[in-house]
Structure 1
Amino acid sequence: MSHHRGPIEFGLAQFRPARGGSPEPIERRVFSAGDEIFREGARGRRAFLIQEGVVELQSGGSDRRMTVERLGAHCIFGEMALILDDAPRPTSAVAVARTQVMVIRDLLFKKKLEQSDPFLRAIVRLLANNLRETPRRRMAYAASGPAPFGNLG
């Protein structure tokens, strides 16, 4: 596993929103082994970048939880909350060991997105709309079969 600063971490380090002329540091949090960072189905406005430690993404009820993915340093999770406004989280996130994260708030993400190239903004918005529509499209497909040719993107 690489121990250099990843592009997301580097980008966050470059951004210090000013409040009253003084820099505001990016929030860092530490979780102990077994701490639930967020719960499946909850609404979120933050993503998390692991600086050190291990996090499991889990799905299913508390009695039959299944690990979907295990993440380590320089991995980001909860990012869907940044692009899908008010969508429920698809998994729970649980610290497996002592874990330090950088917290990425939706307002920071949106501000950085607005500062980006218009082409990139359009692609991210299209991606967000497609992700938002995916469950509805799957249900429609299951109910009636494939739709005729249309938006294949």
Structure 2
Amino acid sequence: MGITDGNKKVMDRQVFAMDQVIFREGKHGSAAFVVQEGKVEIFKTINGDEEVVLGTIEEGGLFGELALVDNQPRMASARATERTVLIAISRQTFEKKMSSSDRFIRAILRILLGNYRAVVRRAAIAEAKLKEHGISIE
């Protein structure tokens, strides 16, 4: 299944089963995703085996875009928490849209996302340390 622009396919629909991993932290990102149906959990692995949930993406939500904007490896993993249908936006489509935007805005966006990655990394480590002491932040 796909979404086309004229004769060219620009987005794919992908279906994931409950608990199926969509992408893994540290891997190259080739697409961003919009949740059409279902839910996706974003999580980070700390100390090799402990998972820290960063958030849940619901219908209409976007995730995985950071790797497309700054071309860095995925900062977290994503998995379906129920049967989930996603619309995948390819790197090629994303870059085509970004290339037509203002260079200044692209530069600011990359800086902001770099800062965001650093904050999320520190927050996940802090949450894992709190858990070690039996403290939940929820």
Q: TM-score, normalised by structure 2?
A: 0.72
Structure 1 counterpart of 2:31, which letter? R
Alignment of 1:97 with 2:82, yes or no, is yes
Deviations 1:78-104 (A, max 9, x none): 11011111x121111010000001101
Aligned with 1:125 (options 73, 89, 107): 107
Structure 2 counterpart of 1:63, which letter? D
Alignment of 1:50 with 2:32, yes or no, is no
**Matches of residues 66-77 of structure 1 in structure 2 within 5 Å?**
66-77=52-63
Q: Distance in 2 between matches of 1:25 and 1:130?
A: 27
Q: Is the 8 A contact 1:53 1:100 kept in 2?
A: yes
Alignment of 1:35 with 2:20, yes or no, is yes
- Cα offset, 1:25, TM superposition: 5.2
Q: Is the 8 A contact 2:43 2:52 kept in 1?
A: yes
Aligned with 1:60 (options 36, 40, 45): 45
Provide the residue aligned with 1:82 in structure 2. 68
Q: Is the 8 A contact 2:10 2:89 kept in 1?
A: no
Provide the residue aligned with 2:131 in structure 1. none
- Cα offset, 1:124, TM superposition: 2.2
Rg (Cα) greater in structure = 1
Q: Is the 8 A contact 2:38 2:84 kept in 1?
A: yes
Local SS of the residue matching 1:124: helix
- Cα offset, 1:36, TM superposition: 0.4
Q: TM-score, normalised by structure 1?
A: 0.65
Q: Is the 8 A contact 1:54 1:70 kept in 2?
A: yes
Give structure 1 stretches of 5+ with no counterpart: 1-12, 136-153
Identity of aligned residues (%): 33
- Cα offset, 1:23, TM superposition: 3.9
RMSD, aligned CA: 2.2
Deviations 1:99-128 (A, max 9, x none): 001101111011112334x3xx42122221
Local SS of the residue matching 2:35: strand
Q: Distance in 2 between matches of 1:82 and 1:129?
A: 14
Q: Is the 8 A contact 1:81 1:106 kept in 2?
A: no
Q: Aligned pair count?
A: 114
